[in-house]
Structure 1
Amino acid sequence: MKVHKSYGGEHFLYGVCYFPEHWEQSMWDDDFRRIKEMGMNVVRMGEGAWNVWEPEEGRYSFELFDQAIALCVKHDLKVILGTPTYTPPAWLTEKYPEVLRVNFEGDAMTHGSRRHYNYTSPVYVDLCRKIVTQMAEHYKDHPSVIGWQIDNEFNCHMDVSFAESDHVAFREWCQLKYGSLDELNRAWGTAFWAQTYTDWGQVYLPRPTATYHNPSLLLDFYRFTSDTVVDFARVQYDILKAAAPHQFITHNGLFSNLDNEKLTREALDFMSYDSYPAFALKRKDRPKHFRDRGMGLSLGRVRGHSEKFLILEQQAGPGGQVGGVLSGPEDYLLMTPKPGQMRLWAWQSIANGADGVLFFRWRTVPYGSETLWHGLNHYGNQPNWRLDEAKRLGEEIATVKELLLNSRVKATAAQLYDYDNESHWKIERFTAWEGWSSVESIYQALNERHVTVDQLSYQHLSETDELVRKYAVMFYSNAQLLNEEDVRLLRAYVEQGGTLVFGPRSGYKDRDNQAYMQAFPGVIKELAGVEITDFTMVDSDEPSMMSFTGEETEWPAPAFNEIVEPRQGNAEVLARYTKDYYAGKPAIVRVPVGQGAVVYCGAYFTPDNTSALLDRLGIVDPIAAWAEVPLEVEVVAREADGKELYFFFNYSASAMSVTFKETVSDCLSGRELMGAAEIEPYGVKLIARKP
């Protein structure tokens, strides 16, 4: 597949986040010495220190960071600098209160936390432009500064804003998009409830109303919210790239209300990520063996934006935050990684495409809201097992770094998604949870049969030849908003041999969020070769079930059911409902199209019903011919010149056994393996075999 953006460094980056402004200067030299002795080669710093970079308006200071970076040079450590625009200083927000973010109720956020600015304030953008320009000019020729992180975690904590500048910017955005009020009124369907606009001054972001908002306005609100972030990032990207084209520019996503594919393409050299699998351990709705393992789905999304990327914050200890007693968010403390888990999680990131991992953080900060967010070192630098584990990881990376740099993830299945449809979930919330659960369930079912899965934004649909070459099957489980061009591209993939799987309610609306005036499934009716003749929400007290043709086993058909009637003679009914008034009616239909096929599923996906569907589609374990691996062990495939590489992960507290039917190489231990082999609790193997 054509790669639009990717990290392409010559060295694998291994390091930590280090914030010199938090520590006495007398500690720095010893800290950097110890970081180097861990086998690390890079530190990230700077993004939370605007008050240090610019202690008062127009007076810039580089002394503290110059001294810290000089010590990095002494210890042969490279530096990734963050622009400090997510933490405006007190002098700024007091002098320019118009830069503050405003919530939906009209309350302005204030100084005392972070991310309290809005992206559309002309004053704030100008001040950001100035500080970024100063930093870029100062460090553009520094040989140890290798790259930049723009801002920090766009849209974390609070992902919307309703300040006066936001309303003004939204009005301008709408004028640019629609050109006339007539076109806006048509796209938003304002004939309903007398919402028609007769003057641009009447157009606002959503405001408190007596009841439901206009869904088409809401969709544009989410698009606008994302575009403001992309525009804000682009300002910084252009400054940095003009000053220092040899230094990379990235950002640590992924957060909500942001089209990260668009952000990556327009304002970054590549996307990066912050990986905290301990959050996933709280997911009691997922089986225990698949909680932290499920982080691969998010890592796959990053890989979909950038084939190779960095982890700018990798979990190093228990995470937690305090201080929410008055502002609303609950305080929390995550579980401490068990011995082995921290290393496992780092390898999970690497296996999925990361050519750099930086632990957050070097040492736990003794003050502020993150005193519970623990780093590799405790407050007093006492010896601990996490330091030993990080050193072991550094030694392992050094052994196989060339393999990592020169190989790529090899996925044979993909899940499609797009920002419009995920925003639509927020608008039509009555099946939003089931929709997102379907995405996770599909990923789990594929992953448990050791199929490596890519997560692709629908912008990749234009790359038809590559899609057909790589993916035997693509799921587009949330495709409610589609247009004719989308359908043309989807048809091209199928006609050339791909299998495309839709979920319920696909294609029934256009990208203005208006329903097509035709039978369901709307714009994909001809492609899918089916018609939805009836539908219903499912009463949770009377669960719906389905069974596949020729089998008696019943599988869940949760939340929402469509009767999927074939409208082509060569259609095959794969499954039928077994309960309620529509018992015996088609639930899943497969229709051949060209050299491929379209599968339409009228119910949401679960791990069980997806696994049964995969059996019917002939999607088998791709490594079964040479290895017997239990479903509890994850396998991530990679490819390099003349070699196949496979990461084997055991996420459980018990040893797991795999059986190799041929001789393979364990790259981390240097041993040859044949027959039964044990993977220790929270263990990792990197296996090489000849194709």
Structure 2
Amino acid sequence: MNPPSPHHRWPQRAAGDAPGLGYGADYNPEQWPREVWPQDIRLMREAGVTVVTLAVFSWARLEPAEGRWDFGWLDEVMDLLHEAGISVDLATATASPPPWLAERHPEILPVNASGQTLWPGGRQHWRPTSPVFRAYALRLVEKLATRYGGHPALAAWHVNNELGCHNVHDYSDDAARAFRTWLRARYGTLDALNHAWSTSFWSQVYGDWQQILPPRLAAAPVNPTQQLDFKRFSSDALKDHLRAERDLLRRLTPDIPVTTNFMVMGGGQDAMDYADWAAEVDFVANDHYVVPGPQALDELSFSANLTSGIAGGRPWFLMEHSTSAVNWQQVNVAKRPGELARDSLLHVAHGADAVCFFQWRQSAGGAEKYHSAMVPHAGADSDVFRAVTALGRTLADLAPVAGSVRRPARAAILFDWESWWTAELDSHPTSRLRYRQEALDWYSAFLDLGVRADVITTRADLTGYDLVVAPVLHVVPRALADRLTAFAEGGGHLVTTYFSGIVDENDHVWLGGHPGALRDLLGIRVEEMAPLLDGESVPLDDGGTGTLWTDRVKVTDPSVSVVASYAAGDLAGGPAVTRRPLPGGGSATYVSTRLGPQGLGPLLARLLDAAGIRGDLPAEVAGEVELVVRTDGGGDFWFLVNRTDRPVQVPLGAGKLLVGEQAPAEGGDTGAVLLAPRGVAVVRHER
């Protein structure tokens, strides 16, 4: 688990409420006339709403002109919510500055790599490193904290919103100055920086800090370590803004927890190192939106699982997801019956103690008017709102789950932001590699086999895991290599893949042959990588098919066994998958090609068998039903999620059904849980 934040606190519920799961949405009353507000409150109570996020994009309403404040409307809404027993996660409203600020201070506007200014008209048009923006933002935060810090509806502070969603990589002069300061702190001297960046290549040696720039548009590929450091810096710059708002809030309202919404989801949100951010908030919150595709449900589960890993297994807050279609994809598909509840409860299964949507009432105008909401354009007399109220009742039934934590699995997938950043830089053996996709493929293979696997970060303690898969673990500093070696030599089973162990923290190749830092542990040596062209594939002698990548693997340790070989082409007869047994009972396995989720299944089954890991569900439903387990110490909550579009029965055993439908018992049978298509059941098992 990650070390807990020294300030770890969970938001308070409304006075008098029993503990339970939170339920709600972003609420934007400023979009609607006052006469709609009482109707909103009435419908919120009908739906079972307990918490709303308020004022996310309200800066222009709160401060319509510099120094002219209008809090009357927010006072009224806060009071209405409190009277209804609904708690407020109050945003600091700094996500989108008002037009007057950009007009008066255009120097707050971000600049892209080509030197173009990003103008107002959208959102997040501010530089993370702008001292001018920071001053105005903190002034607003101070006003809000002073006015509402003692309000009885206030449950938590919501810093900014989706930090870095649109402005993470700023190449302005402010960013250049801050980047140099960050580099001085990291390297200390120019000699150290020149060594780390290998500036002797292409005559890039720096003689003065002022010569260093962000990786702006250049005539040739920019120095790769410069690119990597700029990614690190950009994540840190946003983290610094989070800290600035958080520290002010903690000083003025020390009893109110502070968070911000992460974006652990598919679709390329890789720029913020959330494993590094987790200790900066009092509780982890996340936004997730489903991206359609064959692994859409698996990706949702993967992201929720990873969010739990980031949170150290503790409960977290699902700040945003959608009731149905979004507005920003190429084709925005509405959710099918059952998916609203299934998607929500799958997040709860992986540790979410609050389920919230964007947004409460669907907008009549603006950029997100076609984004679904709890109250759609059709109003309360709609299938969506009926599904929303049904979910509210289900979450109320699951009140005993609140506060329970992730029950660790025996297997884990290791996830690393720096490997994600670095493996997909330019000037590599292939531009087709997608780090997160390889990790997701392994996760899908676990799901297909019915075996639980935690998704954890490289900061996590590996103790307690029997099998750890580290796909495309490209960046391996010496300390990480030592930890992985100790894990395997201590009896653990390590699995890694192509393009792993290749470079150190400076993006310098580990010399002597690949996979570099892991070469001796794996007992193999790769002299040359052999990526595949688009459409190319290579058969394996075990029936699998490799795509994207191959390696010319040489076995260097006689104890290594070849699990699978290439069956055709220049690599025919050469090792494709190897496994080195270790004296302590552990092993180290290398997979030199991309097999995809279906191709990984047979291999993973063999690896799990060697590690003595079995699924917890009967074989006849393995792969059809995902099992996720939370525990409160006295017992376990089993979440059973139907991954199919047809009914599935799962034996109930000695468990107590909390949510779901029980099939009739036959004879001496203890009964079964009947999962509807895309359905979810929750079963309590006492210890």
TM-score normalised per structure 2: 0.92
Give the superposition deviation at 1:397. 1.6
In terms of mean alpha carbon deviation, does 434-443 or 94-103 score higher? 434-443
Q: Structure 2 CA distance, aligned partners of 1:574 and 1:75?
A: 63
Deviations 1:26-71, CA, capped at 9 Å, x for gaps: 1112211220121121111111000122222233332111100100
- Which residue matches 2:218? 209
Give the superposition deviation at 1:631. 1.6
1:256 paired with 2:237, answer: no
Give the superposition deviation at 1:403. 2.7
User: Match of 2:224, as an amino acid?
Assistant: P
The change in CA–CA distance for 1:632 and 1:621 in structure 2 (over 3 A counts) is farther
Structure 2 counterpart of 1:318, from 305, 316, 325: 325
Residues 59 and 94 in structure 2, CA contact (< 8 A), matched pair in contact too? yes
User: Match of 2:258, as an amino acid?
Assistant: I
The change in CA–CA distance for 1:585 and 1:293 in structure 2 (over 3 A counts) is closer
Q: What is the DSSP-based 3-state SS (H/G/I as helix, E as strand, rest coil) of the residue aligned with 2:655?
A: strand
Give the superposition deviation at 1:436. 3.0
Give the superposition deviation at 1:89. 0.2
Q: Structure 2 CA distance, aligned partners of 1:413 and 1:571?
A: 22
The change in CA–CA distance for 1:579 and 1:554 in structure 2 (over 3 A counts) is same
Q: What is the DSSP-based 3-state SS (H/G/I as helix, E as strand, rest coil) of the residue aligned with 1:688?
A: strand
- Which residue matches 1:354? 352
User: Match of 1:364, as an amino acid?
Assistant: Q
Deviations 1:239-283, CA, capped at 9 Å, x for gaps: 112222221211111233111111222x21122111222xx22x2
Give the superposition deviation at 1:97. 0.5
Q: What is the DSSP-based 3-state SS (H/G/I as helix, E as strand, rest coil) of the residue aligned with 2:284?
A: strand
- Which residue matches 2:684? 688
Q: Structure 1 CA distance, aligned partners of 2:135 and 2:79?
A: 30
Q: Structure 2 CA distance, aligned partners of 1:209 and 1:599?
A: 40
Q: Structure 2 CA distance, aligned partners of 1:434 and 1:544?
A: 19
Give the superposition deviation at 1:357. 0.7
Question: What is the 5 A alignment of 1:405-416?
Answer: 405-416=403-414
- Which residue matches 1:324? none
Q: Structure 1 CA distance, aligned partners of 2:104 and 2:246?
A: 26
Q: Structure 2 CA distance, aligned partners of 1:174 and 1:526?
A: 33
- Which residue matches 2:146? 137
- Which residue matches 2:514? 520
1:660 paired with 2:651, answer: yes
- Which residue matches 1:582? 571
Q: Structure 1 CA distance, aligned partners of 2:673 and 2:284?
A: 36
1:599 paired with 2:612, answer: no
User: Match of 2:607, as an amino acid?
Assistant: L
Give the superposition deviation at 1:315. 0.9
- Which residue matches 1:422? 420
- Which residue matches 1:218? 227
Q: Structure 2 CA distance, aligned partners of 1:689 and 1:178?
A: 53
Residues 441 and 607 in structure 1, CA contact (< 8 A), matched pair in contact too? yes
- Which residue matches 2:451? 451
User: Match of 1:299, as an amino acid?
Assistant: A
Residues 417 and 478 in structure 1, CA contact (< 8 A), matched pair in contact too? no
Q: What is the DSSP-based 3-state SS (H/G/I as helix, E as strand, rest coil) of the residue aligned with 2:398?
A: helix
The change in CA–CA distance for 1:483 and 1:147 in structure 2 (over 3 A counts) is same
Q: What is the DSSP-based 3-state SS (H/G/I as helix, E as strand, rest coil) of the residue aligned with 1:544?
A: strand
Give the superposition deviation at 1:516. 2.2
Q: What is the DSSP-based 3-state SS (H/G/I as helix, E as strand, rest coil) of the residue aligned with 2:251?
A: helix
Residues 251 and 268 in structure 1, CA contact (< 8 A), matched pair in contact too? yes
Residues 433 and 548 in structure 2, CA contact (< 8 A), matched pair in contact too? no
Q: Structure 1 CA distance, aligned partners of 2:661 and 2:217?
A: 63
- For structure 2, the residue ranges without an aligned partner over 5 or more in a row are 12-18, 264-268
Residues 564 and 588 in structure 1, CA contact (< 8 A), matched pair in contact too? no
1:610 paired with 2:600, answer: yes
1:273 paired with 2:291, answer: no
1:90 paired with 2:106, answer: no
- Which residue matches 1:678? 674
Q: Structure 2 CA distance, aligned partners of 1:576 and 1:591?
A: 15
Deviations 1:502-534, CA, capped at 9 Å, x for gaps: 111222211111112322221222222221244
Question: What is the 5 A alignment of 1:81-160?
Answer: 81-160=90-169
Give the superposition deviation at 1:350. 0.7
Q: What is the DSSP-based 3-state SS (H/G/I as helix, E as strand, rest coil) of the residue aligned with 1:315?
A: coil
Give the superposition deviation at 1:222. 0.8
Deviations 1:107-129, CA, capped at 9 Å, x for gaps: 11112110111100110111111
Q: Structure 2 CA distance, aligned partners of 1:571 and 1:690?
A: 44
- Which residue matches 2:298? 293
The count of aligned residue pairs is 661
Residues 449 and 615 in structure 2, CA contact (< 8 A), matched pair in contact too? no
Give the superposition deviation at 1:431. 4.6
The change in CA–CA distance for 1:382 and 1:144 in structure 2 (over 3 A counts) is closer
Give the superposition deviation at 1:93. 0.5
Deviations 1:547-598, CA, capped at 9 Å, x for gaps: 3xxxxx4102211111333322322221111111221111121123334221
Give the superposition deviation at 1:666. 2.1
Give the superposition deviation at 1:13. 0.9
Residues 661 and 681 in structure 2, CA contact (< 8 A), matched pair in contact too? no
Question: What is the 5 A alignment of 1:264-663?
Answer: 264-265=278-279, 267-277=280-290, 280-281=291-292, 283=293, 286=294, 290-306=295-311, 307-321=314-328, 332=330, 334-379=332-377, 381-428=379-426, 430-460=430-460, 463=461, 467-469=462-464, 471-547=465-541, 553-593=542-582, 594-619=584-609, 622-623=614-615, 628-655=620-647, 657-660=648-651, 662-663=653-654
Q: What is the DSSP-based 3-state SS (H/G/I as helix, E as strand, rest coil) of the residue aligned with 1:245?
A: coil
- Which residue matches 1:245? 254
Residues 448 and 601 in structure 2, CA contact (< 8 A), matched pair in contact too? no
Question: Sequence identity of aligned pairs in percent?
Answer: 27
Q: Structure 2 CA distance, aligned partners of 1:54 and 1:411?
A: 50
Deviations 1:57-108, CA, capped at 9 Å, x for gaps: 2333321111001000111111001111111001101000000011111111
Q: Structure 1 CA distance, aligned partners of 2:65 and 2:289?
A: 35
Q: Structure 1 CA distance, aligned partners of 2:431 and 2:587?
A: 27
User: Match of 2:65, as an amino acid?
Assistant: E
Deviations 1:302-329, CA, capped at 9 Å, x for gaps: 11111211111121122115xxxxxxxx
Q: Structure 1 CA distance, aligned partners of 2:246 and 2:339?
A: 36
Q: Structure 2 CA distance, aligned partners of 1:383 and 1:293?
A: 32
Q: What is the DSSP-based 3-state SS (H/G/I as helix, E as strand, rest coil) of the residue aligned with 2:261?
A: strand
- Which residue matches 1:178? 187
Give the superposition deviation at 1:605. 4.0
Q: What is the DSSP-based 3-state SS (H/G/I as helix, E as strand, rest coil) of the residue aligned with 2:682?
A: strand
- For structure 1, the residue ranges without an aligned partner over 5 or more in a row are 322-330, 548-552
Give the superposition deviation at 1:224. 1.0
Q: Structure 1 CA distance, aligned partners of 2:490 and 2:385?
A: 51
Q: Structure 2 CA distance, aligned partners of 1:482 and 1:236?
A: 33
The change in CA–CA distance for 1:64 and 1:644 in structure 2 (over 3 A counts) is same
Q: Structure 2 CA distance, aligned partners of 1:4 and 1:616?
A: 36
Give the superposition deviation at 1:136. 1.3
The change in CA–CA distance for 1:528 and 1:316 in structure 2 (over 3 A counts) is same
The change in CA–CA distance for 1:145 and 1:572 in structure 2 (over 3 A counts) is same
Give the superposition deviation at 1:417. 2.1
Deviations 1:447-483, CA, capped at 9 Å, x for gaps: 12222222222122xx3xxx231x2211111222212
Question: What is the 5 A alignment of 1:7-86?
Answer: 8=10, 10-86=19-95
Q: Structure 2 CA distance, aligned partners of 1:179 and 1:583?
A: 50
Give the superposition deviation at 1:640. 3.2
In terms of mean alpha carbon deviation, does 192-201 or 377-386 score higher? 377-386
Q: Structure 2 CA distance, aligned partners of 1:31 and 1:232?
A: 33
- Which residue matches 2:14? none
